Chain A
Amino acid sequence: GQNIDQPTEMTATEGAIVQINCTYQTSGFNGLFWYQQHAGEAPTFLSYNVLDGLEEKGRFSSFLSRSKGYSYLLLKELQMKDSASYLCAVLDSNYQLIWGAGTKLIIKP
């Protein structure tokens, strides 16, 4: 079967750095997305990785290793507004998007 694993919840301190991991076992791979979802709101796009390596976008970076079936989202200089759920989603060989359950990130002052 197809599976996306993310930690259920993480806690970090304002101003710090946090890494949210995502491992996947899917039938093929055509890209990996990260979305942010604030409580009670819609998901919004953060990043898309299709090649191995690190993609940096401001305070957020996303890393992909296709051989390891692994990605992480790195958030730097954490702000209170970063408290949200972070969703990992993989595009499989049939171009279907498989979603993880999301990681709830709690930021403490």
Chain B
Amino acid sequence: IAGITQAPTSQILAAGRRMTLRCTQDMRHNAMYWYRQDLGLGLRLIHYSNTAGTTGKGEVPDGYSVSRANTDDFPLTLASAVPSQTSVYFCASSLTGFTDTQYFGPGTRLTVL
């Protein structure tokens, strides 16, 4: 692995189903982030983690949860998906926090029907 990876690349999901989007980085970055990107809107922060074992809420956290059990992994879970969660999801990481350059994964395109 070189950089930051996300899985799956895309997914179609029935409303009400549970879904976990995976994110892994091998840069030993302390901080990680989950964003959603919708047409005509800027990237919106869902959750973030400044270091392993800690997480924080972003601008649009409702309906999503995260965990940070170790430095490399930062999964995002939709407990019960709804159509408004249809979006492109980007995971990102940075060395220490928001003041550092963020490196983005390739994204997961999620469609909730």
Contact = CB atoms under 8 A, between A and B. Distances in A.
Contacts, number: 45
A91 B99 contact: yes
Contacts of A97: 45, 98, 102
A87 interface: yes
B45 A96 contact: yes
Interface residues of B, number: 19
Contacts of A98: 42
Given A41-B106, A42-B106, A4 B99 contact: no
A99 interface: yes
A85 B72 CA distance: 29
A96 B104 CA distance: 17
Interface residues of A, number: 21
A89 B103 CA distance: 14
A19 interface: no
Nearest to B105: A42
A30 to B, nearest CB: 7
A66 B102 CA distance: 22
B102 A45 contact: yes
Contact of B99 (A95, A99, A100): A95
Interface of B: 40-45, 58-59, 90, 97-99, 101-107
Interface of A: 4, 30-31, 33, 41-45, 48, 87, 89, 91, 95-102
